[in-house]
């Protein structure tokens, strides 16, 4: 029951929001474009205007950045993480609550030739063997080969923002130092739309993109579909295990009932010899069976509910499956209880028939 509770409590939409964010659509430059970053950027003002002019789209936010070789402290080889995001004064101000280190102003970030690093997920530690420390010097190699040294002035957590997945953040003027000839540093358009007009809004976005191979399109619906597909892969083996355990428990219950019936033939015979009718015997067997069944139900309900709740709280701490909203698995429990009731009814009928196969004298002599 705890496994069924866990599966019923998974909020697939919350998982999709956790990975995709609060936006509805995202258009980004393709990996192929990154290899030729001086090429005309298709995420330009004309596309921005086309999107913002649509009545179905409520907001479009541009994210500026570039890719470059990044040398971490005491490392001779460039980092495998090459994406750099440039922040404007307004963007930096909106992220003040995300700073993990001491507060710093945008002017200080620019004046100190600083860089912010987000390694809350531990990717730099795991993949680059680098632990972020304030005062470290990170070197960015520009398009011309010039080395730009930046001082780590703060750490930041971008996990709940549109910048999630990027680890290096600089003032936007640094982008021009890396690529002096480049004018347009847009790398993503984050798009929100009227939730009641999503199909129309998606058509607007797709029409704006056209068949441009340098642009990739992603939507929340795509992310949700992907999550559901992956969750199906998890659910099938877990439900298979649940069914296996349920069948094993039912077989064990049937074995207990039948063993009890066979071993008590003499007792039933004696009771009937002193006046117990077949109807009363049937009623007694049915009540005993229901006692076992309802006892099983009570234990399953009490301990299964508690175990399911605890399991949800544990996975909430881990966060792998997003925010779990405790949901009692009514359908699964009702199905299991219905099977138990059916077993009770079948057992009662078979028990009477089994008793009728032997005479009263034979049943009394059974244990002799």
Kindly report, residue by residue over 311-323, the tens digit of the pLDDT: 888 877 776 676 7
- Does a structural domain hold residue 111? yes
**Region 70-92: what's the mean pLDDT?**
94
Same domain for 280 and 134: no
Same domain for 304 and 203: no
- Does a structural domain hold residue 2? no
Could you tell me the residue range of the domain that residue 164 belongs to? Answer: 23-217
Q: Confidence band (pLDDT; 50, 70, 90) for 33?
A: low
Tokens linked to 188: 């993503």
pLDDT the model gives residue 91: 94
Q: What is the number of domains present in the chain? A: 2
H or E element in which residue 224 lies: helix 220-263
**Region 266-278: what's the mean pLDDT?**
71
pLDDT the model gives residue 254: 77
- Does a structural domain hold residue 127? yes
Residue percentage of the chain with pLDDT more than 70: 90
- Does a structural domain hold residue 27? yes
pLDDT the model gives residue 357: 67
Q: Which of 152, 183, 217 is the last residue of a domain?
A: 217
The label of the residue with tokens 């919350």 reads 14
Same domain for 116 and 261: no
Using the predicted structure, report yes or no on whether residue 359 has a pLDDT greater than 70.
Answer: no
pLDDT the model gives residue 306: 87
**276 or 229, higher pLDDT:** 229
Backbone phi, psi, residue 173, to 5°: -70, -25
Question: Strands across the sheet with 69-71, in order?
Answer: 69-71, 137-141, 147-155, 114-117, 168-171, 83-87, 57-67, 186-193, 25-29, 215-219
141-190 pLDDT tens trace: 988 889 999 999 999 999 888 898 899 999 999 999 999 888 899 999 99
- Does a structural domain hold residue 232? yes
Q: Confidence band (pLDDT; 50, 70, 90) for 2?
A: confident
313-352 pLDDT tens trace: 887 777 667 677 788 888 888 888 888 888 777 877 777 7
171 and 106 Cβ atoms separated by less than 8 Å: yes
- Does a structural domain hold residue 12? no
Using the predicted structure, report yes or no on whether residue 221 has a pLDDT greater than 70.
Answer: yes
Nearest to 113 by CA among 58, 177, 36: 177
H or E element in which residue 147 lies: strand 147-155
Q: Is the pTM of this model over 0.85?
A: no
Same domain for 93 and 134: yes
Q: CA-CA distance, 220 to 222, in Å (whole number)?
A: 5
pLDDT the model gives residue 16: 79
Q: CA-CA distance, 2 to 299, in Å (whole number)?
A: 12
Q: CA-CA distance, 241 to 232, in Å (whole number)?
A: 14
Q: Confidence band (pLDDT; 50, 70, 90) for 245?
A: confident
Q: Which of 184, 217, 250 is the last residue of a domain?
A: 217
| Cα 333 to Cα 123, 124, 294, distances in angstroms | 42, 45, 13
Q: Confidence band (pLDDT; 50, 70, 90) for 356?
A: low
Using the predicted structure, report yes or no on whether residue 73 has a pLDDT greater than 90.
Answer: yes
Tokens linked to 339: 């099977």
Same domain for 211 and 283: no
Q: Which of 180, 199, 217 is the last residue of a domain?
A: 217
């Amino acid at each position: 029951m705890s496994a069924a509770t866990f599966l019923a409590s998974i909020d697939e939409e919350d998982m999709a929001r956790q990975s995709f964010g609060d936006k509805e659509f995202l258009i980004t430059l393709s990996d192929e474009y990154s290899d030729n970053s001086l090429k005309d950027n298709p995420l330009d003002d004309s596309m921005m205007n086309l999107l913002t002019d649509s009545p179905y789209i409520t907001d479009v936010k541009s994210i500026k950045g570039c890719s470059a070789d990044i040398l971490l402290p005491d490392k001779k080889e460039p980092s495998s993480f090459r994406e750099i995001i440039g922040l404007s004064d307004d963007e930096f101000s909106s992220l003040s609550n995300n700073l993990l280190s001491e507060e710093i102003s945008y002017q200080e970030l620019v004046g100190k030739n600083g860089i912010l690093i987000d390694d809350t997920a531990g990717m730099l530690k795991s993949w680059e063997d680098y632990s972020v420390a304030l005062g470290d010097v990170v070197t960015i190699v520009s398009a011309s080969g010039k080395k730009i040294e930046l001082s780590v002035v703060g750490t930041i957590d971008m996990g709940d923002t549109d910048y999630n997945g990027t680890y290096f953040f600089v003032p936007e003027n640094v982008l021009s130092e890396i690529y002096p000839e480049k004018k347009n540093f847009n790398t993503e358009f984050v798009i929100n739309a009227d939730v009641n007009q999503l199909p129309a809004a998606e058509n607007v976005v797709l029409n704006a993109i056209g068949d441009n191979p340098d642009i990739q399109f992603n939507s929340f619906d795509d992310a949700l579909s992907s999550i559901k597909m992956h969750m199906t892969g998890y659910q099938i083996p877990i439900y298979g295990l649940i069914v296996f355990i349920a069948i094993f428990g039912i077989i064990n219950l049937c074995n207990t009932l039948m063993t009890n019936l066979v071993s008590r033939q003499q007792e039933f015979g004696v009771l009937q010899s002193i006046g117990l009718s077949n109807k009363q015997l049937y009623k007694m067997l049915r009540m005993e069976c229901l006692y076992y069944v309802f006892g099983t139900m009570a234990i399953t309900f009490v301990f299964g509910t508690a175990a399911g709740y605890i399991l949800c709280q544990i996975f909430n701490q881990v966060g792998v499956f997003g925010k779990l909203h405790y949901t009692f698995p009514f359908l699964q429990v009702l199905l299991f209880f219905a099977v138990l009731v059916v077993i009770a009814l079948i057992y009662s009928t078979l028990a009477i028939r089994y008793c009728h196969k032997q005479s009263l004298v034979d049943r009394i002599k059974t244990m002799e």
